[in-house]
Amino acid sequence: MATFEKKRGKASPEVSTASLPDIIFMLLFFFMMVTVMRDSELKVDVNTPEATELTKLEKKSLVNYIFVGRPKVAYRDTYGTKPRMQLGDKFSTVADIPLFLEKHKAKLPENQRQGITSSLKIDGTVTMGIVADIKTALRKANQLKVNYSAGKRVD
């Protein structure tokens, strides 16, 4: 009967790390391509009210945000301290809302346009007159899905 001998002295070859930099750069480029950067800078101070019953918006690409609040310190010399409205990345007036909505609709396919929601991120100290004017402009532009943003109340 034959016996088996153990082979001693033979070590397994080391793992080659020559392709490691290639893999790291591929991952780096992948994450650089798929990361979405914020498309607009917030120029107003928005401290949203707190609420307990909140629902999360599912499709963020179908939401256009309207920010209302007092201008940040860097913009107060130019725009004053009264509450202002920001559409996209610039200060706007209520008359600019229809054009803002049309630009957003033009970017979307036809079958998704009925799902567009306008999200109002309004500072808690802003008067209801500005909010009523914005809601009227949205209604005239046939934008009937409106969402009021709020923060989660901590009990």
CB 126 within 8 A of CB 90: no
Q: What is the CA radius of gyration of the chain?
A: 27
pLDDT one digit per residue (tens) for the chain, 155 residues? 667 776 666 667 788 888 889 999 999 999 888 887 666 788 999 988 888 888 888 888 899 999 999 999 999 999 999 999 999 889 999 999 999 999 999 999 999 999 999 999 999 999 999 999 999 999 999 999 999 999 888 76
Per-position DSSP letters for 123-142, written without gaps between them: -TTS-HHHHHHHHHHHHHTT
Query: What backbone torsions phi and psi does residue 94 show, to the nearest 5 degrees?
Result: -65, -30
**CATH code of the region 44-152:** 3.30.420.270
Query: Beta partners for 44?
Result: 71
- The secondary structure of residue 24, as a DSSP letter, is H
Domain ranges of the chain: 44-152
